[in-house]
Structure 1
Amino acid sequence: MSRADAARSPRLLLTVATVVATVATAGSLFFSLGLGLTPCRLCWYQRILMYPLVVVLGVAAVEERPAVARTVLPLSVFGLGLAAYHSWLQVTQTTCSVGVVSCATVQYRLFGLLTIPNLSLLAFSLVTGGVAACWWQARE
């Protein structure tokens, strides 16, 4: 298999998406369990959408099943929208009266730049892009 063929492999794209979902899941658990940060309501919704992707994408990568896009894309696109909205809230609002912790509060910045919702937005974007590319290539 040539390098170009390997890059187009559904298994590779699904594996990368699985790794991204796994890192995002582990990161969210580290923020809450390791650093003691309390997730806001929007963070909980994003977790609900991200956590199952680890298993679903992992199984699809092992079975090399690009049709998993029909299962993954609704979750990842909705998560992408929630993460974008959450990131927007943190930039434009000072408070959010939903839940115990305000969704507009910045609790942590990675490298002094990326907030937790920004990291979620990045993860959902990578998962969505990888799965969409995998699905698109399988259709050719």
Structure 2
Amino acid sequence: MSLQPSSGSWNLLLLAWLVALVSTLSALFIGEVMGQAPCVLCWFQRAFMFPLAVVLAIACYRSDFAIWRYALPLAAIGAVLAFAHTLLYAGLIPQPIQPCTATGPSCSGAEMTIFGGVPLPVLALLAFILITVLLIIIRRRTI
């Protein structure tokens, strides 16, 4: 089965990869350079974002527009995790459900912000949503 992209599909694929790449590099910068240890939910989100940066790069190189079949589940699951993290950060998830322990970084603490108060879980959620939307558009243009 050969997928023929419409005009602009490659640019959308490139944009999805750039979002994943910037998110991955940002997470590494925050953890390794700024010294902020990731919380439990951040680790799970990284487990879905880091592979996206790799598979979307390969898809760009190969002009593989069927990548949505593999990348869309990663992005959607990552978005669900980031949404739960955002709810936890906002205090909308009850205390007993919180996955963070007393020994590690808090999933809802003040250190979960950047740029003067922008919550990291919200940034992760926006990145996953943007990648998901771009992959859905690619899927619709290539089927």
**Which TM-score applies when normalising by structure 1?**
0.87
Q: 1:8 to 1:114 in 2, by over 3 A?
A: farther
Q: Pairwise CA RMSD of aligned residues?
A: 2.0
Q: 1:97 to 1:128 in 2, by over 3 A?
A: closer
Q: Deviations over 1:64-120 (max 9, x none)?
A: 222111100111000000001101101116964524122122314334342111110
> Secondary structure at the residue paired with 1:107?
helix
Question: For structure 1, which runs of at least 5 residues remain unmatched after alignment?
Answer: 1-6
Code of the aligned partner of 1:126: L
Q: What residue is the counterpart of 2:135 in the other structure?
A: 131
Q: What residue is the counterpart of 2:59 in the other structure?
A: 60
Q: 1:71 to 1:35 in 2, by over 3 A?
A: same
Q: What residue is the counterpart of 1:33 in the other structure?
A: 32
Code of the aligned partner of 1:35: M
Shift of 1:8: 3.9
Code of the aligned partner of 1:98: C
CA distance in 2, matches of 1:85, 1:8: 36
**Which TM-score applies when normalising by structure 2?**
0.85
Q: 1:68 to 1:20 in 2, by over 3 A?
A: same
Code of the aligned partner of 2:125: L
CA distance in 2, matches of 1:50, 1:97: 20
> Secondary structure at the residue paired with 1:134?
helix
Q: What residue is the counterpart of 1:76 in the other structure?
A: 75
Question: For structure 2, which runs of at least 5 residues remain unmatched after alignment?
Answer: 1-5
Q: What residue is the counterpart of 2:100 in the other structure?
A: 98
Q: 1:123 to 1:97 in 2, by over 3 A?
A: closer
Work out the number of aligned pairs and report it: 134
CA contact (8 A) 2:40 2:99 kept: no
Indicate whether 1:119 and 2:123 are aligned: yes
CA distance in 2, matches of 1:110, 1:8: 37
